[in-house]
Amino acid sequence: MSTETPAPASSPSLDKPERAGEFSLDVEERSIVGAFHDWVTRLRTGDPGALPSVVGLVVLGIIFMQVSSAFLTRYNIGNLPGQGVYIAVIAMGLVFVLLLGEIDLSAGTAGGMCAALAAVAIFDGDLSNGLPTFMYWSLVVGLAIGVGLAVWVKAWSASVVIALGFLLVVTNLTQHLELALLAAICIGTAIGVLNGVLVAKVGIPSFVVTLALFLAWQGVLQFALAGRPVNTSNYDFWHNLTYGTLSPTQSWIFTLVVVLGFLAFTLTEALRAKAAHLTHDAISLVLLRGGLIALVGIVLTILANQNRNPNERSTLVIQGIPTAAVIALVLMIACTLALKRTTWGRHLYATGGNAEAARRAGIDVVHMKVTAFALCSSFGAMGGILLASSQSSASLDLGSGNVLLFSVAAAVIGGTSLFGGRGKPRDAILGALVIVIIPNGLGLKPSLGAQWQQVITGIVLLLAAAIDAVSRRRARRS
Amino acid sequence: MTEPILSARGLNKSFGPVHVLHDVDFDVYPGEVTALVGDNGAGKSTLVKCFAGINSIDTGTITFEGEPVTISDPRAASALGIEFVYQDLALADNLDITQNMFLGREISRMRAFLADGEMERKARETLASLSVRTVSSVRQQVANLSGGQRQTVAIAKAVLWNSKVVFLDEPTAALGVAQTRQVLDLVRRLADQGRGVVLISHNMNDVMEVADRVAALFLGRVAAEVQKTDTSTTQIVELITSGRTGDLGLTAATANEVM
């Protein structure tokens, strides 16, 4: 391949055609050994990636296997996704905001409030019946203002989502469960736009904005519920978000779609790059990686598709992949594509890495911040819905307490940096697994009290933050 | 003699009561490195910001390729083909070289999905066309680059867009000897490829080494615009510090008046 350079004839570059191989490290094909070598280099230059959280999971797993023989059973492991999915989803939303070096402390309580609104709507028929008149109209006006704010900062997709929420609320379609939950997510988007505008346009530090709203939404939630929690396990769709499973056939279809989709995507990409003489992973590397993921997926599906009810006399059959795991995985894939493959994602990383550089490159930093906060609160709303499902109740303290702190901890344990610029949706899932495995493992041995849970979680978080700080320092030095 | 590609005539700019630029005439010729020198506060940054569209001008005209133009914002400047490499580099450490070079102007499919392969190829072509040998991979993170390599990337980013005029603000400040050498070579090459290059510098060695012509600003006025071959370091230093040297520069009356 000899590339034409746009330079005039006097340019020295035309003396000899340049090609990819001229850049000595830009080997065109990355072999399996090369990939391993790259990974070691990344570790040494301060990007530990998923390694700390995976090691943490394995260590905790080994410890809890000693604590109780019930830990590594298919029944117990099958319960993990339902117990932890709300942390994973809220943490995934937080990743967007943390990438910018900001924080959203209100994601938990905002999400809890959104879920409570959905609960009130279906419990009382619809929102206009369920809420006090003043609150209902405040909500309607708030959503309208949300649309306006989103349009103002050119967050078009957010404005469409909020407008949808507005329509659902004013047309009283919130009497249908699925639509009520959808409206809750749309309300979350509006809250996020408000956060973003206060941070990026008004210029209040995100810590203060979201701390204030963290307190405020708890109160609004109690107004909405008016002192009576709503039992969500009466609503099958809601209950099954964290307690349901796919049928064995659906499980196989899901696994095959994910595994084959990943394989096909990475393979076509490598082949296309190879044809265009660009740097790419060797086909053997792509197949090895895809094969490993396929192996893990297939083994897990086989295990999940057997009856895991530990009660042998019970006729209840528990089998299939937990719905919660499907939700987390689908969201993770969508977020990863958005961050890695779209200009929006690239701009988000750039804004988090160097906001001034992004601004000079013509990126609308205000727009990036508002969209990140909007996504964070939307995920917060989903997290609130999942939390209500897993605790079977839209309670009066839904989403408050440790929910948000656990979610931040999950993102950080997974490898997302609090200083901005580094993080992946995958971090949220791995971190949430670490966070949820601790109470799960300790709960199997009742003699170990809840105090242990908090101490251990704290130590794990401290370790993760230390790894982040140390690796940052290494990255600067190299 | 060729026509200037970018020129300013009679530029005036005031910030409130402070008259920063007085009837400044400034020309940039294609294929030449024009050094813009002057003491702190002489108005170099203000003049550059007028071309960048960051400052508006009070009176005067700017012509680009013979046509009068108004540069109202930074996007208008890059649309014309005028690029700026700022002292503090404006690179995002957490992105790689290719991603930085295309930042804000990514090639995308359906206006949303990144065409990374295409960008990688073009980044490599651009670096190759500048004969850059110091960068071993266009997929390297910028955080891991040395000062000279970062400056190289910043310059290549400006060149990527078929720019016709490149402004470089102190490109060798804070660089070691060898790295300064590389960057100066690169600056020379930009001009040799037919671009108009403006080098803003305090370093007389750099100026005498790569510049073809030197424009000296003294308290908001152009003291002199001379061919490098007709002048010496001593003369330029005098122009910078007192506005005149021998027959060159402001008249004694003007120089004394503004002092």
Task: Judge whether residue B258 has pLDDT over 70.
Answer: no
Among the partner residues A343, A356, A357, nearest to B114 by beta-carbon distance: A343
Range of the domain at A377: 49-244+322-467
Closest residue, chain B, to A342 (C-alpha): B113
Task: Tell whether the model's pLDDT for residue A41 goes beyond 60.
Answer: yes
CA A290 to mean position of chain CA atoms: 22
Q: Could you please report the per-residue DSSP string of A6-47?
A: -S-TT-GGGGS---GGGSTT--SEE-HHHHHHHHHHHHHTT-
CB of B125 within 8 Å of any CB in chain A? yes
Q: What is the pLDDT of residues B151-189, one digit of tens each?
A: 888 888 888 877 899 999 888 887 888 888 888 988 998
pLDDT at B18: 87
Distances (CA, A) of A282 to A26, A184, A260, A290, A317: 13, 45, 18, 12, 44
- Give chain B positions within 8 Å (CB) of A279: 120, 139
Judged by average pLDDT, the poorest of A121-130, A404-413, B224-233 is B224-233
Say yes or no: B137 contacts chain A, CB-CB below 8 A. Answer: yes
Q: Which DSSP string corresponds to A98-164?
A: HHTT---TTHHHHHHHHHHHHHHHHHSSSHHHHS-HHHHHHHHHHHHHHHHHHHHTT-HHHHHHHHH
Mutate to test the interface with A, among B119, B124, B153, B186 (most CBs of A within 10 A): B124
Residue A29 pLDDT: 77
Residue A432 lies in a domain: yes
Identify whether A303 is part of a domain: no
Residues of B in contact with A358 (CB under 8 A): 92, 103-104
SS3 B63: strand
pTM: 0.88
Partner-chain residue, chosen from B103, B131, B137, that has the shortest CB–CB distance to A361: B103
- Is the pLDDT at A28 greater than 80? The verdict is no
pLDDT score of A298 more than 90 = yes
Look-up of token digits 């309208």: A144
For residue A94, the tally of other CB atoms under 10 A from its CB is 32
B106 touches chain A (CB under 8 A): yes
A220 pLDDT more than 90 = yes
Whether the pLDDT of residue A16 is over 60: the answer is no
> Computed from CA positions of residues A66, A72, A75, A78, in that sequence, does the dihedral angle turn out positive or negative?
positive
Q: Show residues of chain B in contact with A350, CB under 8 Å.
A: 92, 94-95, 99, 103-104
**B 58-87: CB under 8 A from A:** 74-75, 78, 86
Tokens found for residue A437: 């495995």
* A35 confidence band (pLDDT: 50, 70, 90): confident
Contact yes or no for A155/A373 (Cβ under 8 A):
no
Q: Is the pLDDT of residue B235 over 80?
A: yes
Structure tokens at A44: 């040494």
What does the alpha-carbon distance between residue A79 and residue A436 come to, in Å, rounded to a whole number?
10
Q: How many contacts (CB atoms, under 8 Å) link A and B?
A: 132
The two three-digit tokens of residue B114, written as one number: 């990144």
The span from the CA of B244 to the CA of B114, in Å, is: 54
Q: Do B95 and A350 touch (CB under 8 A)?
A: yes
**For residue A47, what is the nearest residue in chain B, using CA coordinates?**
B94
CB contacts of A23 in chain B (<8 Å) are 124, 127, 135-138
Instruction: In whole angstroms, give the CA distance from residue B135 to residue B157.
Output: 14
- Which among A343, A348, A424, A474 is the top mutation candidate for probing chain B, defined by the most B β-carbons within 10 Å of its own β-carbon? A343
Q: Is residue A10's pLDDT more than 60?
A: no
As beta bridge partners, residue B244 has: B249
* Residue A245, φ and ψ in degrees, nearest 5: -135, 160
Predicted pLDDT at A25: 52
Distance from CA of A268 to the nearest CA of B (A): 13
The CATH number for A55's domain is 1.10.3470
Give dist(CA B10, CA B27) in Å, integer.
Answer: 12
- A32-41, A244-253, A301-310 — which is least confidently predicted? A32-41
**pLDDT band at A338, cuts 50/70/90?**
very high
Smallest Cβ distance to B106: which of A278, A343, A478? Answer: A343
Contact A356 B112 (CB under 8 A): no
CA distance A445 to A67: 7
| B contacts of A99 (beta carbons < 8 Å) | none
Q: Which residue has the higher pLDDT, A260 or B235?
A: A260
Could you tell me which residues are beta bridge partners of residue A34?
A: none
Cβ proximity of B192 and B166 under 8 Å: no
Which of B48, B82, B125, B140 is most worth mutating to test chain A (most A CB atoms within 10 A of its CB)? Answer: B125
Number of domains in chain A: 1
A478 to chain B nearest CA, in Å?
Answer: 6
Q: Which residues in chain B touch residue A360, judged by CB atoms under 8 angstroms apart?
A: 74, 86, 90
* Cβ atoms B155, B165 nearer than 8 A: no
Q: Is A163 within the bounds of a domain?
A: yes
Q: Which two tokens mark A263?
A: 């394989």
A129, two tokens: 């019946």
Tens digits of residue pLDDT in B95-144: 999 999 999 889 988 888 998 888 988 888 888 888 887 787 888 888 88
- Residues from chain B contacting residue A12 (CB–CB below 8 Å): 131, 189
Q: Do A360 and B139 touch (CB under 8 A)?
A: no
- CA-only gyration radius of chain A, Å: 24
CB contact under 8 A, B104 and A24: no
pLDDT on residue A5: 38
- Which residue in A has a C-alpha nearest to residue B126's C-alpha? A5
User: Which residue in chain B is spatially nearest to A1 when comparing CA positions?
Assistant: B121
Average the pLDDT over B240-252 and give the result. 75
Q: Cβ separation of B136 and A26 shorter than 8 Å?
A: yes
Give the strands of the sheet with B67-69, arranged side by side. Answer: B18-28, B6-15, B59-64, B67-69
What does R_g of chain B's alpha carbons equal in angstroms?
A: 19
Residues A279, A256: Cα–Cα separation, whole Å: 29
| CB contact set of A302 (below 8 Å; sequence gap of 6+) | none
A354 lies in some domain: yes
Q: Which of A276, A346, A421 sits opposite B106 (nearest CB)?
A: A346
In this prediction, residues B36-47 reach a mean pLDDT of 87
A375 found inside a domain: yes
Structure tokens that stand for A111 in this block: 């999400």
Distance separating the N- and C-terminal Cα atoms of chain B: 35
The residue assigned the tokens 């999915």 is: A85
With an 8 Å Cβ cutoff, the interface of chain A facing chain B consists of: 3, 5-8, 10-13, 18, 20, 22-26, 45, 272-273, 276, 278-279, 341-344, 346-347, 349-350, 352-354, 356-358, 360-363, 421-422, 475-476, 478
Where residue A135 falls (left for φ over 0; alpha for ψ -120 to 50; beta otherwise) is alpha
Q: How far apart are the first and last CA of chain A?
A: 34
- Shortest Cα distance from A354 to chain B (angstroms)? 5
State the complex-level ipTM. 0.84
Is the distance from CB of B50 to CB of B77 less than 8 angstroms? Answer: no
Whether residue A344 and residue B91 make contact (CB cut-off 8 A), yes or no, is no
A1 min Cα distance to partner chain B (Å): 11
Q: What is the pLDDT of residues A49-96, one digit of tens each?
A: 788 888 889 999 999 999 888 898 999 999 999 999 999 999 999 999
Write the residue in B86, B100, B139 that is nearest to A279 by C-beta.
B139
Is residue A317 one of the residues assigned to a domain? no
- A249 inside domain: no
pLDDT, one tens digit per residue, over A129-185 is 889 999 999 999 999 999 999 999 999 999 999 999 999 999 989 889 999 999 999
Q: Beta partners for B18?
A: B15
- The burial of B111, by beta-carbon neighbours within 10 Å (0-12 exposed, 13-18 middle, 19 or more buried), is given as exposed
What is the overall mean pLDDT for chain B?
A: 86
